Structure 1
Amino acid sequence: MTLPTLSLQGRTALITGAATGIGRATALLFAQAGARVVVNHLRQDAEAASLVQAIQALGGKATAISADVSDAADVQRLVDGALAVVGTIDVLVNNAGIIQEKAFLDTTEADWDRLLGTDLKSVFLVCRAVLPGMVARRGGAIVNIASDLGILGRERYAPYCAAKAGVIGLTKSLAREFAPQQIRVNAIAPGPVATAMVSLEHMSAEWVEKELAIPQHRLGEPEEIAASALFLASDLARFYTGQVLGPNGGSVMP
């Protein structure tokens, strides 16, 4: 039996929302592991260009494509553009996401649609566009970024919690449906992570108090979540499917 490794040498990876935060850290780590990376972003041209340059400085290959992953036509354009450059998509990381703190009774239908569109519908759309190629090749790995709040729930974050719980359910459904084609679908449900979207400086005092109340009493780093994504994308995780890894500092325990 060939021993599995963390290498992604010779593989291609599409990472959504990759210009900053967890997506950026994942793109850099995947490139270091040998993958050719397609960096999806939405109107973050400077950040995406900086990331591509950083990957190239490491000796890797990367391409940046701006697209709104909550829009079906834009997703198809993204995937068609990626395939035109890299030929196949062996690994998909659905990372694009937004968050909003707002009382439930103040949450509008537009708020709901925006959060669910970016955080859940996008996962459906990108998976639907990428999976036919994986099915044809009988192989692939999908990693969906959920959240510990999709498991725990949190007041004032109803749309976000609903979306991330949906990501977990969708992950398990796809894992069962596509296992016969040797396609692995897993999720990561991080705890609070220090990114531009979620930071101690920009969130409410109540949020900070709750997030730092976890056993490790700190925010995670994007690189720590990227490490879980690399594991799930690699052959080391070839017996993993339908699983939810929880790099969360102890926020979720049975």
Structure 2
Amino acid sequence: MTKLAGQVALVTGASRGIGRAIALALADDGAHVAVNYRSRADEAQAVVEEIEKAGGKAVALAADVADPEQAGTLVERARAELGGLHILVNNAGITRDGLIYTMAPADWLEVMRVNFGGVFNCTQAVMGHFMAERAGAIINISSVMGERAWTGESAYAASKGAINAFTRNCALELARFKVRVNAVLPGFVPTDLVGGLLARDGGKAIKRRIPLREFATPEQVARVVAFVAGPDAEYMTGELLRVDGGAAAVLGTGRPD
């Protein structure tokens, strides 16, 4: 497919998991991809090599997106090394599971700094370029946790709720510049990020609460991101798209029994 031919995409946190799948999906649609990572250089380079082996073009770029200065440098390097920038996917994230009562202040602050701070920093860094071009697509990877409650996920859920609100406001501010801003909200995806939730029974109890009775794969999430980034979604902005197998329709509070 070549729906994104001639486009350059920057994907943060793209060395593994959902970010890796997104980078591969965008490349498969014809985009050149900047694969951002913070510490896993070997894994990021493996993603680049996979894209190049398939005939695409990619580069691995190190940066801690929670740092505004590094985020700005990352955007400029992506533009310089790949000849432009048209798509930003804010995917980098962490979690620090724990009850509110016993949570260390440093833990919730770090989750907000990386998850929401990274989205803010990279978005702000790319806005001037997108506004000048009067084009661009920003896709924020949020979570259904940002709209629901789950025991032990307060910091993570709050960071994703912030991303959801920011997505809507950013879409409003950038609409007059023809820049689209949307969020994709995965449900339960068996990656390292949610390993703690699946540790007790391999996720069987959680799976029973998902209407489709299956976890999402990173590739399923990535295909939705590629759609939102592409021309078929040119009239979509300010949207929060769930990819959760119906979980948000039935998910209550708490955790599996």
TM-score where L is the length of structure 2: 0.93
The worse-fitting range, judged by mean Cα deviation, of 16-25 and 74-83 is: 74-83
Identity %: 36
Q: CA deviation at 1:44?
A: 0.5
* Structure 1 segments (4+ residues) deviating >3 Å: 199-208
1:144 equivalent in structure 2: 140
Q: Deviations over 1:76-101 (max 9, x none)?
A: 22112112112321000000011222
Distance 2:169 2:111 in 1: 21
> Whole-Å Cα distance in 2 between the matches of residues 31 and 127 of structure 1?
21
Q: Is the 8 A contact 2:186 2:244 kept in 1?
A: yes
Aligned to 1:131: 127
1:63 aligned residue: 59
**Is 1:210–2:189 an aligned residue pair?**
no
List aligned pairs for 1:155-174, cutoff 5 A: 155-174=151-170
Question: What displacement does 1:251 show?
Answer: 0.8
Say if 2:139 is the partner of 1:117.
no
Paired residue for 2:25, among 26, 29, 35? 29
Q: Out of 7, 11, 14, which is 1:11 matched to?
A: 7
1:248 aligns with 2:251: no
1:142-185 per-residue CA deviation (whole Å, 9 max, x = no partner) reads: 00000000001212111100000000000000111111100000
Equivalent AA in structure 1 for residue 95 of structure 2: I
CA RMSD of aligned residues (A): 1.8
Q: 8 Å contact 1:68–1:75 — kept in the other structure?
A: yes
Deviation at 1:205, TM superposition (A): 4.7
**Residues 6 and 183 from structure 1, CA distance in 2 versus in 1: closer, same or farther, beyond 3 angstroms?**
farther
Rounded Cα–Cα distance in structure 2 between residues aligned with 1:219 and 1:167: 23
1:209-253 Cα offsets, whole Å, 9 max, x none, are 235411122211000000110010001001100001111011112
Shift in alpha-carbon separation, 1:208–1:162, aligned structure 2, 3 A: farther
**8 A contact 1:200–1:208 mirrored in 2:** no
Whether the 8 Å contact between 1:6 and 1:235 is mirrored in structure 2 is no
Structure 1 residue ranges without an equivalent (≥5): none
Q: How does 1:167-206 map to 2 (within 5 A)?
A: 167-199=163-195, 203-205=199-201
1:110 and 1:146 mapped to 2: Cα distance?
A: 22
Q: TM-score, normalised by structure 1?
A: 0.94
Compare 77-86 and 226-235 and name the one that shifted more.
77-86
Count of aligned pairs:
250
Give the counterpart letter for 2:69 in structure 1.
A
State the alpha-carbon separation in 2 of the partners of residues 15 and 106 from structure 1.
34
Structure 1 counterpart of 2:123, one-letter code? C
Counterpart-to-counterpart distance in 1, 2:149 and 2:219: 24
| SS, match of residue 72 in structure 2 | helix
